[in-house]
Amino acid sequence: MIRKTTKLRQLLDSQQLEFLMEAHNGLSARIVEETGFKGIWASGLSISAALGVRDNNEASWTQVLEVLEFMSDATSIPILLDGDTGYGNFNNVRRLVKKLEQRGIAGVCIEDKVFPKTNSFINGTAQPLADIDEFCGKIKAAKDAQLDEDFVVIARIEAFIAGWGLSEALKRAEAYHQAGANGILIHSSLRVPDEILAFKQEWGNRCPVVIVPTKYYTTPTQVFRDYQFSIAIWANQVCRAAITAMQQATKRIFTEENLLNIEEDIVPVSEVFRLQGALELQAAEKRYLPQNQKQSSALLLAASRGIELGEFTLDKPKCMLELKGKPLLSQVADTYRMVGIKEITVVRGYKKEVINLPNLNYIDNDDYDSTGELISLQLGLQKFSQGNQDLIIGYGDVLFKKYVLQLLLDNNHDFVVVVDANSQGQSNSVRPDYVSCSLPNSKQAFYTEVYLQQINNQLSKSESCGMWTGILKVSSQGQKILRDTLKSLLLEETAQKQGRMPSLINEIIKLGYPIQVIYITGNWLDIDEIEDMIKAGSF
């Protein structure tokens, strides 16, 4: 395995322009590596900002070191530390190098200003530069302290920042080069690259030259290649982008006082887990811990044509109508997958050969014309053994925001339904499944368990507590009750062969089994009519 120090030395000595991307903690470092960058710039400005302090050595070098350790552990690419002025004199630099090597940091860049430093872009011309001989002593001390021969020491020249001009920059560069620096970082606060280009033209190729185009960012990168710079550092953009995103998100949540809209625009928590390496821990748990983890599956009923949509469903069932460039069923399944449900079974019937999406299991109801949802459910349940898994039963033409499914998964009751409290006895749905509950949606209901009393499309507005959204979760324990109740219902009442899910749910209630209610307000859509198709385009 190539050491990180060797990787950084190879980047520095490369015959082509290389790039380092800023990171300031373990998470951002891992993202930088995943993006494809070959190396990381551990920015002093960004690390200070992430810690909530100024870029004036207010964060101690040991605090910076702790951040670096997490960054190094999270990545396999080399890290070059923005080591400010070395955090003191030559002795501090020697100890710094020793500690950096112990944590797998590939190199350090130190700047020729006095301690404590001030950021170069804050009144730079008023900042004093270090004595050349004293700074050369720091470079020699750093090189003498390193144990790894490939550990990189970069000397950062602030002559242009302080307004001293080209001759001073060249004078310092030569002194630092002779002192043993592996490369020179030439810095400028101008919005054009004139100073750094003039320096490179005079300096030539005596040793590698590193640049930081933060201010002169409009310069085409090809210019840097033409002048044969060694490394360009994108020095603080990850931190600044994070600040932009955090400001926008917090303002939106503050204004809206809920998370419903923003949850759809930010990465799911599962992506955070992935970046943290949760999969590796799960694999380790399977190896080292007893296994008794509950899984969840989904059964989607999608055998009907959707005749209400007329000619749109002549050659395909409703669940395969395209929305946003993909079939409706695909969007429904994607939402289930976003909450971690991978095993999804679809009961198909009308034009079943058209329903052929990948990564789904299929059960066919070939008698879809003469039977209803309960027969489809009975067929679908054959796919599931009565094991250690919860089951969500839904429809292939009903869209939900993912948080609704997450609410179901987080509920531990044997039977759970989701009720839209906004639909109280007044709906355009083809079959409005109005419900009565033990409590209407209220502050009291939020703190009290609410149970379903019945589903009845004849309920008046005063009797209705909302509308059943077409989704039912059944625990592993509750599935035997569900199967037995369904079997009895179909045997005792022939008419139920064309029956719908509400009749089964009502029967379970009659038998004395409680069905808990989760209230929502909107954030779901049952595709019944053309108008629903239009709404789905912006869902």
Catalytic hit among 13, 55, 112, 484: 55
How far, in Å, CA of 257 to CA of 147, rounded? 55
Beta-bridge partners for 296: 390
Other CB atoms within a 10 A radius of the CB of residue 174 amount to: 15
> Cβ distance 157 to 139 under 8 Å?
no
CB 535 within 8 A of CB 523: no
The tokens 């209901």 sit on which residue?
Answer: 445
Q: How far apart are CA 13 and CA 28, in angstroms?
A: 26
Distances 58 to 53, 71, 117 between C-alpha atoms, Å: 6, 20, 10
Extract the runs of DSSP E, i.e. beta strands, from 98-248.
107-111, 152-157, 183-186, 209-211, 231-234
Round to whole Å and give the CA distance between 506 and 484: 14
Cα gap 159→332, rounded to integer Å: 61
CB neighbour list of residue 43: distance below 8 Å, 6 or more residues apart: 22, 23, 24, 82, 235, 236, 239
**Half-sphere exposure (CA, 13 Å, Cβ side) for 503?**
17
Backbone angles phi, psi at 242, to 5 degrees: -65, -40
Please indicate whether residue 364 is annotated as part of the active site: no
Asked if residue 39 lies in contact with residue 7, where contact means CB atoms within 8 angstroms, the answer is yes
Percent helix / strand / coil, the chain, rounded to 5: 40, 20, 40
User: For residues 242 and 240, what is the distance between their CA atoms, to the nearest angstrom?
Assistant: 5
Contact 68, 102 (CB under 8 A): no
> Would you name the residues annotated as active-site residues?
55
